[in-house]
Amino acid sequence: MNCSRALAVMAAVAALSVAAPLWAADGNPAAGGQKKQMCEGCHGIKGYRTAYPAVYAVPKLGGQSAPYVVKALQDYQSGARRHPSMDAIAASLSAQDMADLAAYYASDLK
């Protein structure tokens, strides 16, 4: 491998390690099951439609991939995604809470 290619590979590995997403943390599905009560009021009702701030179907969480759930929660927490209820819930979650909830909804425990 020539020097410039080796440097490019090392730079790519370094960039990936710095930008490693929070969902890389191990989530505990059982712990997520203990934390799900804040989610179940909307996401646990089959066919539920919210009326605030607009009427729409609430997405099902069970079966979603863990990285997707964590990214969505991170986006609500950072303000990249907006919804009054989700903004408040995400603001109260730690990175471990997010990983645990994501592991729960991606598991067979839900």
- 73-93: per-residue pLDDT in tens? 999 999 999 999 999 999 999
**Which token pair is 74?**
């991170």
Rounded to 10 degrees, the C-alpha dihedral 101/104/105/109 comes to -150
**Alpha-carbon distance 109 to 104, whole Å?**
6
28-46 per-position pLDDT tens digit: 999 999 999 999 988 988 8
Model confidence band, residue 5 (pLDDT cutoffs 50, 70, 90): low
Closest CA to 62 of 46, 77, 38: 46
Candidates 3.30.1330.60, 1.10.286.10, 3.30.360.10, 1.10.760.10; CATH matching 23-106:
1.10.760.10
Q: How do the domains of the chain map onto residue ranges?
A: 23-106
The pTM of this model reads 0.73
**Which token pair is 104?**
């729960």
